[in-house]
């Protein structure tokens, strides 16, 4: 089936004529993005799949960075989240923060005085990440989630290897 034929078929399915009136299909609710899934837990190896630029978390007054990893064992995508402070104009990275520690691992050393901590440090395709993966079983209020809402996430980046 050609692309034009497929587009025509979709148009016919979306609009239909009944008794001389045009009806459009009602939009169905959907979830933006993919649903994170529960997978294996433990110490697993993976490569960086995607880096989501820092942005404001809608439910919190904080900047957040997301690193998405593809696990080598089964190809599952899991994410690590980093808090970058509450000032959206200038993210704050403390010397004792998780981001500082992981960036230093990826860079091979701590940043020098005045050095910018660029996100491109994480994107080297040769880097192999050893991560700890666990299921997120509690919600923001420390209450157990229903099984349908449990997903896996990276809780810690243990080591970063360079070939």
Q: Where are the domains of the chain?
A: 36-161
Q: In what order do the strands lie in the sheet with 77-83?
A: 77-83, 63-71, 42-56, 128-136, 151-161
Better-scored residue on pLDDT, 111 or 89? 111
Give the tens place of pLDDT for each residue, 136-149.
888 878 899 898 88
| pTM of the predicted structure, to 2 decimals | 0.69
pLDDT category at 36 given cuts 50, 70, 90 is low
* Res 58: pLDDT: 64
**Percentage with pLDDT > 90 across the chain:** 24
Q: Which residues of 20-38 are buried (b: 16+ CB within 10 A; e: fewer)?
A: eeeeeeeeeeeeeeeebeb
pLDDT at 104 over 90: yes
* Res 59: pLDDT: 64
């Amino acid at each position: 089936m050609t692309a034009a034929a497929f587009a025509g078929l979709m148009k016919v399915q979306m609009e239909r004529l009944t008794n001389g009136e045009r009806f459009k299909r009602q939009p169905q609710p959907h979830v933006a993005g993919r649903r994170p899934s529960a997978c294996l837990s433990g110490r697993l190896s993976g490569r960086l799949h995607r880096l989501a630029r820092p942005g404001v978390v809608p439910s919190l007054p904080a900047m957040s960075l997301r690193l998405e990893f593809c696990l080598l064992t089964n190809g599952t995508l899991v994410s690590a989240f980093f808090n970058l402070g509450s000032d959206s104009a200038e993210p704050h990275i403390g010397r004792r923060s998780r981001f500082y520690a992981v960036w230093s691992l990826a860079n091979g050393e701590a940043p020098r005085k005045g050095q910018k901590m660029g996100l491109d440090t994480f994107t080297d395709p040769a880097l192999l990440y050893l991560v700890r993966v666990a299921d997120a079983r509690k919600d923001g209020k420390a209450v157990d989630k229903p099984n349908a809402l449990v997903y896996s996430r990276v809780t810690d980046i243990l080591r970063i290897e360079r070939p």
